[in-house]
Structure 1
Amino acid sequence: MPFDASAQPIHPDVDRPARAWGAVAIAALALAGLLAVLLALARVPGVQDWLPWPWESFFRRALVTHVTLSVVVWFLAVLGLLAVLGAGRVGRGPAMAPWARAGWMTVAAGMGLLLGPAVLNLGAPSLNNYVPVVDHPLYHGALGVVALGVALPLARLLSLGPRVLARDMMAFGAAMGALTFAAALVCVALAALTMTPEPDPEALNEWRFWAGGHVLQFVNALVMLTLWHHLSTRHVGRAPLPTGPFAALLALIALVAWVGPLVFVWAPVQTAGHYAAFTLLYKAGLTLQPAILLIATAWMLVRARGVGLGGGLFGTPGRLALVGSVVLFAAGGVLGFLVGWGDTRTPAHYHAIIAGVNLAVMGLFLGGLVPSPRVQRRPTARLVLLWLYAVGSLVQAVGLYGAGVLGVGRKLAGEAQGLDSTAKSVFMGLNGAGGGLAALGGVMFVWIVLAGLIRQAKAHAKFRVL
């Protein structure tokens, strides 16, 4: 694979913990996918009767758990993986290894507990934004266990100090993600400590996670931008920006995220000001820095076309994932300033954004984190799944946005959507078709990576990152 000169070998002591963190991250996606299948089956007449409780009850609990696994646990597990890899890249493998091992085991336990309420028919589901929950002590406790598991390697990474972390942008980016994750936890704690009871559990959970959920989006952005730098240097042979400016922009994102806890001083939770403040923080605080890095990465890709890349920009999984991530994130960013109120333009925005982050992570896994010789020699399947996921996600976003312009409401299904015109049906059809393509790409991704990780574990292969 070309342009490996930028790669730094990972310390042998974090080989196994890093593989385990990768497996835990993929397991979160696999469990989310399994729940998605069960959600579909639960709505099939006849199959519904096999459940020991009403299918409507299972459906909402499983939907909540599916979302939490696929957009919260998945991204946080990837952050934990980056922390482990970053420590290895700066030569602190032995210091990280025990923390990494304790962390992935704790996250795995938390994921198992998250499934409890859906399987045991416990608690009331709450489809609130960012971190939907099942109102039961087991589910809330499981979220705490996951957070603790992620925090363990992050805390150890931060303890290495800025001079060590500045040696490598993966380590530095993970450290900025760690500081931002801490800000999100502080926001959740402040909300829980200062809220007053409300009769509507979903409204209560909306306030509980409104602030912290917004700050978690800063974490996801840091993961993606760190991986843009990694994929660029690893697979294109040049960085989007020099190390100093790149690190400064990442640090600025983390600094702005810490405005979140300060918002509670002048805009208490459960007020209109609190709601508006975090919406503004997200739009204003997470626009300039990613936009600069997006433009720099796009310009770097344009210039790289003339350096004789074998296979072109779309010829290897690492490059294709990078290009797809830039395009989807740019599309989602534009849609974020054109969202409506209560319609499908909002999910059009965040589906594109999430797809952009996912593609960057896919590039990490498919571009060398799973160095199975068979997979590396035959990259066709990896390229196909990336095309399916990227194109499907873009089509889905277009369909959702068009439907929202025509007034189709979000979080609705069936007749409640009010598809009373051909145009609405066409756009929602695009949403379904794009979502199907993206789902197929996602299933292929999980299958290929899990198979690669299993082969690695059996052969005791070494990580080559990258």
Structure 2
Amino acid sequence: MSPEPVEALAETPERRIAMRDAARWFALAVGSIAVAGTLAIVLVVGRLPGISEIVITDVEFAKRSLVVHVNLALAVWFFSFTAGLFCLLPGARALRVSPLAFVLSLSGTLLFCSTVFMPSATPILCNYVPALNHWVFLLGIGMFGGGIALNYIDSRMLPGRVASALVPREARFGLRASALVYLCAMLTFYGAYVSGSDSLLIRSDGLTDAQYLERLQAYYEWLFWGGGHVLQIANEIAMVSAWLILLSRVLKRSAVPPKAAAVLFLILMLPTAVGPWWTFNSSSMTHFTRLMQWGIFPAVSVFMIWSAVSLFKARGGFRPGDLRSPAFVGFVT
């Protein structure tokens, strides 16, 4: 079989589109980390004796800040960065949804961040997606997630005959697999929403504050539990894809053969297909725990070992500075 023709490194309309789309998402990712770090500093300073009583009089402000901090530092950072990598795949077209998807996600991020200043937003410290029980937060986090999903409904999701000079062949399947698992996670969230009990959100007469908070905790835990587990697998696939991109820069070749990488990515991806079915049928939450326990480490371990062996075999051919390059340092850290 003849090798795939590779895009030239010279500027082309497709390459400019890809770089522009990716730059937007990378900017959102880096910006979210910066704001999350600022919130962390505010949290620490605001809790110092003598300052908290003067500067921050709202007793729930710290918890609301923590919720927003976690969503920025994990959800927005991870998924915006992965969306940017996806935009580097070949197949970019002038008529595309990525700019609209970015605006939707950016608007959603700004919206849910604003709830840190809303005293009526009750913080719910649930797993995977800590939430604020307020329609503004839920709308904002939904807009962000919907924007990421919309970004993946793109011609770049389809494999093409022309390879990308930006993303090696073995990583392209992984980025598409990560996008598909992300979409599966969105369906899993929807299944949990449909099958969940909205009555838990209603405060009936006679409930104390603590009892109502327990009901909210139970509702949001169910809502985000299943999809949160599926999202972890999407993150793992994206992480391995990033490894392969970095290693291709260091080794000047594939660290893992493309066909072997595709099989391993399939092993990671396929079990997540049951996620929506489990939530639509209100299956036990333990199923998702088992999915993450046994669905991640086998394939990822093979990727790690294969990558380490490839580096070891190539040790004699490294040039001065190769092991100090950003690509190698990024991989080992």
| Cα deviation digits, residues 169-194 of structure 1 (max 9, x gap) | 44432211111011111111111111
**2:227 equivalent to 1:212:** yes
Separation (CA, whole Å) in 2 of partners of 1:8 and 1:252: 33
In structure 1, C-alpha distance between the alignment counterparts of 2:229 and 2:69, rounded to whole Å: 19
Aligned counterpart, 2:294: 284
Q: How many residues align?
A: 306
Tell me if the contact between 2:195 and 2:279 (Cα under 8 Å) persists in the aligned partners.
no
Q: Is residue 2:46 matched to residue 1:42?
A: yes
Question: In structure 1, what is the equivalent of residue 149 of structure 2?
Answer: 151
The answer to whether the 8 A contact 2:178-2:237 is kept is yes
Higher relative contact order (CA 8 A, sep 6+): 2
Equivalent position of 1:309 in the other structure: 319
- Letter paired with 2:41: V
- Unpaired stretches in structure 2, ≥5 consecutive residues: 1-5, 201-211
Residues in 2 aligned to 1:124 and 1:164: alpha-carbon distance in whole angstroms: 51
Deviation at 1:241, TM superposition (A): 1.3
1:192 to 2:193 alignment? yes
CA RMSD of aligned residues (A): 2.2
In the other structure, the counterpart of 2:182 is 181
- Counting helix residues as a fraction of each chain, which structure ranks higher? 1
Tell me the amino acid that sits aligned with residue 317 of structure 1. Answer: P
1:161 corresponding residue in structure 2: 158
8 Å contact from structure 2 (residues 170, 256) kept in 1: no
Distance 1:165 1:58 in 2: 51
Deviations 1:219-249 (A, max 9, x none): 1011111111111111232322111111221
Q: Distance in 1 between matches of 2:132 and 2:229?
A: 20
Call closer, same or farther: CA 1:123–1:261 in 2, change over 3 Å.
Answer: same
Q: 1:65 maps to which residue?
A: 68
Q: Deviations over 1:277-301 (max 9, x none)?
A: 1111001111211111111111112
Partners of 1:281 and 1:59 in 2: how far apart? Answer: 33
Q: What is the letter of the counterpart of residue 219 of structure 1? A: A
Q: What CA distance in whole angstroms lies between the structure 2 residues aligned with 1:256 and 1:164?
A: 28
What does 1:50-449 correspond to in 2, within 5 Å?
A: 50-51=54-55, 53-54=57-58, 56-86=59-89, 90=90, 92-95=91-94, 98-157=96-155, 160-163=157-160, 168-196=169-197, 197-198=199-200, 199=212, 200=214, 201-264=216-279, 268-269=282-283, 274-311=284-321, 313=323, 315-324=324-333
Structure 1 counterpart of 2:304, one-letter code: L
Conserved 8 A contact 2:226-2:279: no
Aligned-partner residue type, residue 178 of structure 2: G
| Matching residue of 2:206 | none
Residue 214 of structure 1 and its aligned partner are, at CA, apart by 0.2
Provide the C-alpha distance between the structure 2 equivalents of 1:41 and 1:47, rounded to a whole number of angstroms.
8
Q: Indicate if the aligned counterparts of 1:61 and 1:118 stay in contact, CA closer than 8 A.
A: yes
* Residues 7/164 of structure 1: CA separation in 2 closer, same or farther (3 Å cut): closer
1: CA distance, partners of 2:232 / 2:189: 14
| SS of structure 2 residue aligned to 1:125 | strand
CA distance in structure 1 between the aligned counterparts of 2:37 and 2:235, rounded to whole angstroms: 20
Task: Describe the shift of the 1:15–1:255 C-alpha distance in structure 2 as closer, same or farther (beyond 3 A).
Answer: same
Aligned to 1:342: none
Give unmatched runs, 5+ long, in structure 1: 1-5, 325-466
CA–CA separation in structure 2 for the residues paired with 1:13 and 1:178: 19
TM-score (norm 2): 0.85
Shift of 1:17: 2.3
Residues in 2 aligned to 1:95 and 1:171: alpha-carbon distance in whole angstroms: 21
Q: Find the aligned partners of 1:7 and 1:156 in 2 and give their Cα distance.
A: 19
Give, in whole Å, the separation in 2 of the partners of 1:129 and 1:216: 12
Deviation at 1:163, TM superposition (A): 4.4
Measured in 1, the distance between the counterparts of 2:322 and 2:21 equals 34
**Separation in structure 2 between the aligned mates of residue 8 and residue 226 of structure 1, nearest angstrom:** 22
Question: SS in structure 2 opposite 1:44?
Answer: coil
TM-score computed with the length of structure 1 as normaliser: 0.62
Work out whether residues 85 and 171 of structure 1, in 8 Å CA contact, stay in contact via their aligned partners in 2.
Answer: no
Letter in 1 for 2:27: A
